[in-house]
Amino acid sequence: MKDISEYSPTFSPYETLIHLEDKIMSGELKTFQALKSYAAVLVGSQRGKVMLKRAFDLQRQLHWGFFRDLQPATFPALWSQVVLPDPDFDFAGDLKGYMSIPDVYVGILDIHGYTHFCRENRNNMSRLDLLDRMLHEEVRAMAARQGVLARRARGDEILMLSASASDLAETALALMDHFSKPRRVSLAKDGKAQGNDMLLPPFQLSAGLAGGQKYTPLVVTRDGDLSGDIVNTAARLQARATRLSPHRNRMLITSHVQQKLAAGNNPRQHPHLADAKYLNTGSVSFKGTSLLVFDAVFVKTEAWRLDIQQSLEDLYSSLEKGMWRSKVLEDALALIIKLAKCVPTFSIQREGGGPQIDAMEFLGMTRKTAEAFAADRFEEAIEAFNELVNLLSALEGIDEVALEYLKGIAEGYASIAEAFASKVESEIFANPGAVLGAQASSSFETLKKHSELYAGLLVKARLSVKSRKASWYNVADECAPANGVRIESRK
């Protein structure tokens, strides 16, 4: 058969299918509408329906890319969202090329340690093949049970698509649980469960979930790949999760996904989500776009992180309002106190050795910092605050988001302190007599020649300036716009 016009009921189905498959494989019939139009002579008969279904299955496998496993029977919810169904054949349809619908969610997962594992086992093809099969087969099967379409995208990256935020999040957490357990598997050459034991180590995953926004487009390319803002957002959240926690499981989600999850889930259908809570990590900037991001807390040993939620939100509020005169520092110190009380094993090794700093001693240091600031000893307080943040950086188990904000605040106050010192010193130099008195003023001028003594007297002079608080407020207000602490994604 050279053309479908030659078809007659006397032709064998095999010969007709071979002809249609040749047309599909050559790229002449990429869509079902094109197939249906070309093979209109087959429409209406039961035998023609069977042949069209077989031909459409080949189209899916060749031209639907990421969606090649998508069928209405196995993924009904997702099918209704991303496919334009054919009015005559309930098994067929064509992918929407551009979607802007609220009920589509994208997840991207990355496996920590994948590259290291491949490098270590480059001469052990059996272990590499076993991990490869986990990524290709087990991931797809586990996701499909939740109605989620999943496929290995590149290397160790897993791309997932769902019509339900709960199904997508449940799949992500189930995969984290699955990969986090060491696996001993018996495999023979034919892949059956017998033969030599083989051990796969536990792997940690990072995930980013996005979607649920009415006007955020999802683009399906001609070869069936995904692109668009939803995919980009999920990828950036996943990259941020990896940066925050390169050695443990972490899932970051957008506020739209969090709202869907917070609305409730079926514990039987979503057992991993049953006890999950969501920590507000504030707004994160992604190349000019700011998103409110939530961190899923799903491990019991990390439940303490929920206790710092209010302290974090107080800090977000004072930062957003630019309250650098005092409120930002007060809220930052309140967060530090909360961390000292909540981190399960609080112990920091001193620089240079010696006994470790425990929570009690650290709280004392925090209290002295607050007292110095309240007494208008701003320079001393900022220096002490910076030391507190540096110590927290060495604390094992510290909440990475809280630490990220505290580091940004320390940098902000360092710039304020520098500008404040310059302002106060200009007042001293302009009229040292008014600040220090006649006798001290004379000593001040003399000691300029002796740097160490001069530096000590300058510190004393700064503390003697009567307009210190007004100057601090003025400088803090001037620096506030530039000191807007924003968490930036690096991808």
Domain identity same for 446 and 466: yes
Q: What is the CATH classification number for the domain harbouring 244?
A: 3.30.70.1230
Cβ of 280: how many Cβ atoms within 10 Å? 17
Residue pair 280/292 in contact (Cβ under 8 Å)? The answer is yes
Residue pair 70/83 in contact (Cβ under 8 Å)? The answer is yes
Last residue of a domain, one of 96, 115, 137: 96
Position 185 confidence tier, pLDDT thresholds 50, 70, 90:
low
Residue 371 backbone dihedrals phi, psi, to 5 degrees:
-65, -40
Domain identity same for 214 and 148: yes
**Number of folded domains that form the chain:** 3
| Residue 314 belongs to some domain of the structure | no
| Residue 276 belongs to some domain of the structure | yes
- Pick the range with the lowest mean pLDDT from 234-243, 323-332, 469-478: 469-478
Cβ of 408: how many Cβ atoms within 10 Å? 19
- The structure tokens 């608080």 sit at 469
Domain range for residue 341?
A: 327-488
| Residue 316 belongs to some domain of the structure | no
Q: What is the pLDDT of residues 292-302, one digit of tens each?
A: 999 999 988 89
Domain identity same for 280 and 206: yes
Q: What burial class does residue 263 get, using C-beta atoms within 10 Å of its C-beta: 0-12 exposed, 13-18 middle, 19+ buried?
A: exposed
Domain identity same for 429 and 290: no
Torsion from C-alpha of 233, 239, 243, 246, nearest 10 degrees: 130
Domain identity same for 182 and 262: yes
In the numeric block, which tokens belong to residue 296?
């899923």
Last residue of a domain, one of 40, 66, 96: 96
- Pick the range with the lowest mean pLDDT from 87-96, 127-136, 184-193: 184-193
Q: What is the pLDDT of residues 404-428, one digit of tens each?
A: 999 999 999 999 999 988 888 787 7
Confidence (pLDDT) at 272: 93
Confidence (pLDDT) at 488: 54
Last residue of a domain, one of 298, 318, 353: 298
| Residue 341 belongs to some domain of the structure | yes
| Residue 460 belongs to some domain of the structure | yes
Position 182 confidence tier, pLDDT thresholds 50, 70, 90:
confident
Domain identity same for 376 and 429: yes
Domain identity same for 27 and 159: no
Domain identity same for 122 and 22: no
Q: What burial class does residue 298 get, using C-beta atoms within 10 Å of its C-beta: 0-12 exposed, 13-18 middle, 19+ buried?
A: buried
Domain identity same for 46 and 119: no
Domain identity same for 113 and 234: yes
Domain identity same for 405 and 278: no
| Residue 336 belongs to some domain of the structure | yes
Domain identity same for 372 and 285: no
Of 94, 53, 100, 96, the C-alpha closest to 216 is 100
| Residue 311 belongs to some domain of the structure | no
Position 130 confidence tier, pLDDT thresholds 50, 70, 90:
confident
Residues 6+ apart with CB under 8 A from 447: 453, 454, 457
Residue 195 has pLDDT above 50, yes or no: no
| Residue 321 belongs to some domain of the structure | no
